[in-house]
Amino acid sequence: MPVLFSNQSIEIRASLAVAYSGIAWGLFWIPLRFMDRAGITDAWATVLFYAIPLVAFIPWIIINWQRIWRCGWSLHFIGIAAGGSLAFYSDALLYTEVVRALVIFYLTPVWSMLLARIVLGEAITPPRVVAIVFGIAGLLVILGVDQGVPWPRNVGDWMALISGLGWAVAAVLLRKDDGSRSMEISAVYLFYGFIVAVILAISPVAGEIEPPDWPTVIDILPWSILIALLVIPGAYAAFWGAPHLNPGLVGLLMMTEISVGVVTAAIWANEPFGVRELAGVTLITLAGLSEFIYMPIRRLLFPGR
């Protein structure tokens, strides 16, 4: 079989696709925060974020509704888990610091590996154990373990935690599903993400915020289109790559988002980036790389084994 179509080649391309998705999501907070400052306040910014790409998808959904119908309920469960997860995550970026939202969300590899073990029977290998240790260590550093039990401290932190759990469920469902394609998954992800975003916007969690008026929406359309151009390819890449990979590895590869998000937030949002943040990001980045560097390091330290 040609190398281009080998299982290893597919896994490499899937890994690159998921890592790219993480980079795209790492930049996502920028247009989202801009929309918030421009008058699309708080959770309504997330609603608009989902609405614009969903509108772009409507013609495709109308033409291909039979394909979506044939995928069955498993497709909808994936859409609910993925769309709901990233709606919570988008709101978390508005209700807490970008660094905290990113790091708390990225407990997802821990949940994914445990769920993959329980649901799919996939082994938790030594490099993944290392990844879990590094990931949790990085999380504790960011949250401030030296100041006591590092519980989430505000509604945004809790949203980030819920979003990480939801994405872990989505990753396992993607790995288990064998009848859906990336376009169908992207369509239901946007649909259910929009529904969850609206529910969050009108819920007591969001507080008493007014939906934006039409002139404000029109003024912000260029940024909304930028969001669509940023998110749709990133979402497609994740939904194409995730079924080819272990759910825990998906979460680890998407940790590229942390480095991109933390650095850009420090530069453009004046969010803190000191020794604590650098140590946390370094540990979590090592967690993301552990799958790739474990075997070379083992061969170097233990040749012949």
pLDDT of residue 241: 82
Query: How far is residue 257's CA from residue 248's CA, in Å, rounded to a whole number?
Result: 15
**Domain contains 142:** yes
Answer whether 288's CB lies under 8 Å from 131's CB: yes
Q: Which of 147, 162, 167 is nearest to 78 (CA)?
A: 167
- CA–CA dist 42, 33 (Å, integer): 9
Residue 2 lies in a domain: no
| Domain contains 148 | yes
Domain of residue 138: give its range.
14-301
pLDDT score, position 81: 94
- Tally the domains of the chain: 1
pLDDT at position 5 is: 46
**Residue 204 vs residue 109, higher pLDDT:** 204
Domain-embedded: residue 6: no
Mean pLDDT score of the chain: 79
Report the range of poorest mean pLDDT among 6-10, 35-39, 43-47, 240-244.
6-10
Average pLDDT of span 92-100? 84
Query: What is the C-alpha separation between 25 and 27, in angstroms, rounded?
Result: 5
187, part of any domain: yes
* 144: nearest Cα among 277, 303, 295: 277
Q: What angle do CA 252, 253, 257 make, to 5 degrees?
A: 95
Q: What pLDDT score was predicted for residue 4? A: 44
Quick check: 17 pLDDT over 70?
A: yes
**Weakest-pLDDT range from 49-58, 174-183, 261-270:** 174-183
The answer to the question of residue 8 being in a domain is no
**pLDDT per residue as tens digits for the range 238-257:** 878 877 787 667 777 777 77
At 122 the three-state DSSP class reads coil
Answer whether residue 2 shows pLDDT above 60.
Answer: no
> Quick one: which of 248, 103, 229 has its CA closest to 174?
248
Could you tell me if residue 60 is inside a domain? Answer: yes
Domain membership of residue 7 (yes or no) is: no
Rounded Cα gap, residues 244 and 253, in angstroms: 13
CA angle 234, 239, 241 (to 5 degrees): 95
Can you tell me the mean pLDDT for 64-83?
86
Average of per-residue pLDDT across 265-283: 78
Read off the pLDDT of residues 137-162 as tens digits, 9 standing for 90 and up: 877 787 676 665 556 778 998 999 99
In eight-state DSSP terms, residue 210 is: P
Section 8-28 average pLDDT: 81
